[in-house]
Amino acid sequence: MNQRILRLVRNYAVPAKKNAPKLTGGLQPLQGIQLKKQYIPRPNQRVTYEHQPPPSPSELKAEKVIRKRRNPWLRFIPSLVVIGGTVWLLFSYNYFFVEDEDLEFLNPSEFKKYTITFKQQIDEDHYLIELTRKNRSKILNSMKLKMTSMWNGHRLWSVEIKQPDISIVRKYTPLPLYVASNNSEEPFIKIINSEGEEGKMMLYIKTYPEGEMARWISQTPLYSDLELRGPFVDYEFPFHPLDKATDRPQLRNVLSKLPPDSELPEDMPSPDNYNFFGAGTGISPFLQCLYSPNPPKGKVNLFHSANTEEEIPKVFSSLNYFLQKTSRLNYYRFIRDKGEMITDVPASVVSNYRGYKDLKFVKEYEEKKLLKQKMEQLKSGNSTDDNSSTAAAESQVKLAQLQDSEKQRVEPSLAKSKSTSYFDNALQLLLFKRESNDNSPSPASLSLVCGPEGYISYISGTPDFNNPENIDAGEVSGLLGKKGWTKENVKRLQ
Ligand SMILES: Cc1cc2nc3c(=O)[nH]c(=O)nc-3n(C[C@H](O)[C@H](O)[C@H](O)COP(=O)(O)OP(=O)(O)OC[C@H]3O[C@@H](n4cnc5c(N)ncnc54)[C@H](O)[C@@H]3O)c2cc1C
């Protein structure tokens, strides 16, 4: 029986299916057996137990390269390098070429952006506006080694502000002031005394009901940008030999921090005194000069006219008070509302500078200064001179002679200056002022006038710029004319 079944199974032929896979190898299916699932043999896997030699370094390297290539991120490296390089190139171009042109505070032929960082309404139509140069910190960093202050009391300068909507420009006089803190009711407005404070300025402006620019500036919101160009020098003070010898220290907000004036060289002509006549915002050029570094070395008689007391910012009053206390300023205020008017002016005197002969004193003074410097270098062993021993001997002899002659001449004042500290200086000046109590104007050799047309005419006559040279050819009349002032010693600023 078993034999018969076995034969039947062997002889059974499976009917071929349409989609049946083609058999490629392995065992032939047993004939006569109906299989539920077609058997498909797997490809043979050879397992070997042979000992493989370790891969050679070149094989290892090749394997590493293949593995690296398989990392999907590595495919982006070339693109990332190209993108990074392009960004760097753009940044460098921008930094070295495009932005470079903008790394200055002011330029007379190009408008620069300034942001309104503070605005204070003083009265109905007067404002204090602080402007800060855009990118100020970047400019300060780029200028670190070659920083020169834009403030200099030896000249009066202004900037032009553009109103872009109606394409007009107007001139304004910047003051070397900025808001150091604004936490209390009254902001603390400070004089720009150091490099780190550069790049800011304060404008004192008056708005007119029909006026375009001042009204627009006063209504422009805080942190908006204005476009400025300059500086434009409106007036430069006449040369005086002392300008070569010494600078007067700049005013400070704290009197005790004001360095004492340097001793003026003996043989030099004394500095000249000036009269400044300013009305309304016309006071700004004079305050610019008095608050800047290198202010006038002589005394200034400032005649300040205003419609009301309220229109004068408090900071002006306190700084002018300090100037008075340090004997730099005689300050006379005329408030129209109180019926105060200038009715008289002092007569003129001739300049203390006697012409080219005085220059010899400057030369001598400079020689002495150089010699002293040389001696100090030698003392500290910093001389770069090859013949230093000979030079030292010569310098010592010369200096001894100079010191002897100088001692005889300036002994008393020298002794005084040695013991003078900043505080002593301020105190001495204060006491001197209190004792003397003399408020009469100092004799001046030059008068400057600035303000509305009517005011200028009243003080000094009408200016006349109707000539090809565009210089003021108008005769001096008014109060100054009556006291003998002429075109040679009067300057009208308009
Ligand atoms: C070198 C220089 C520096 C200056 N510095 C300052 C400054 O620091 N602060 C400042 O506020 N101004 C200053 N000015 C004046 C300033 O340039 C503008 O003339 C003034 O702001 C008016 O311009 P506005 O566009 O507002 O008025 P505008 O449109 O020019 O004038 C409109 C009307 O306002 C009246 N008006 C204009 N100016 C005066 C005036 N001075 N007196 C009386 N009425 C006037 C006129 O009646 C005019 O019809 C300076 C001018 C010069 C030349």
Residue 208 lies in a domain: yes
**Residues with Cβ within 8 Å of residue 490, at least 6 apart in sequence:** 446, 447, 448, 449, 460, 476, 480
Residue 293 lies in a domain: yes
Q: Tokens 């013991």 label which residue? A: 419
Out of 2-16, 140-154, 320-334, 428-442, least confident range: 428-442
The average confidence (pLDDT) of the chain is 82
* Whole-number pLDDT of residue 474: 94
Domain that residue 162 falls in: 112-236
How far lies 390's CA from each of 169, 210, 372, 377, 403, in Å? 63, 75, 16, 14, 20
Considering the domain architecture, whether residues 124 and 223 belong to the same structural domain is answered as: yes
Pairing of strands 200-206, 225-236: unpaired
ipTM of the complex: 0.93
Residue type, 220: T
Taking residues 158-170, report their average pLDDT: 95
Say which CATH number the domain at 320 has.
3.40.50.80
Tell which of 236, 262, 280 closes a domain. Answer: 236
Q: How far is the CA of 341 from the centre of ligand 1 (A)?
A: 22
Could you tell me which of 222, 22, 31 has the C-alpha nearest to residue 127? Answer: 222
Burial 49-60 (b: 16+ CB within 10 A, else e): eeeeeeeeeeee
Residue type, 292: S
Residue 213 assigned to a binding site: yes
**pLDDT per position as a tens digit, 277-287:** 999 999 999 99
Tell which of 236, 266, 292 closes a domain. Answer: 236
* Whole-number pLDDT of residue 9: 61
Q: How far is the CA of 380 from the centre of ligand 1 (A)?
A: 57
Nearest 5°: the CA angle 489, 490, 494 is 150
452 lines ligand 1 (CB under 6 A): yes
Considering the domain architecture, whether residues 123 and 217 belong to the same structural domain is answered as: yes
The two three-digit tokens of residue 287, written as one number:
């305050």
Decide: 422 and 256 in contact? Cβ < 8 Å: yes
**Residues with Cβ within 8 Å of residue 344, at least 6 apart in sequence:** 479, 483
213 lines ligand 1 (CB under 6 A): yes
Considering the domain architecture, whether residues 322 and 444 belong to the same structural domain is answered as: yes
Considering the domain architecture, whether residues 216 and 324 belong to the same structural domain is answered as: no
* Whole-number pLDDT of residue 109: 95
Considering the domain architecture, whether residues 182 and 331 belong to the same structural domain is answered as: no
Residue 471 lies in a domain: yes
Considering the domain architecture, whether residues 140 and 225 belong to the same structural domain is answered as: yes
Which of 125, 157, 167, 172 to probe ligand 1 with, by most ligand atoms within 8 A of CB?
172
Residue 361 lies in a domain: no
Taking residues 406-432, report their average pLDDT: 38
CA distance 314 to 291: 15
Out of 230-244, 319-333, 471-485, least confident range: 230-244
* Whole-number pLDDT of residue 430: 44
Residue 131 lies in a domain: yes
Say whether pLDDT at 23 is over 80: no
Which of 208, 288, 305, 465 to probe ligand 1 with, by most ligand atoms within 8 A of CB?
208
Q: Is 478 left (phi over 0), alpha (psi -120 to 50) or beta?
A: left
Say which CATH number the domain at 207 has.
2.40.30.10
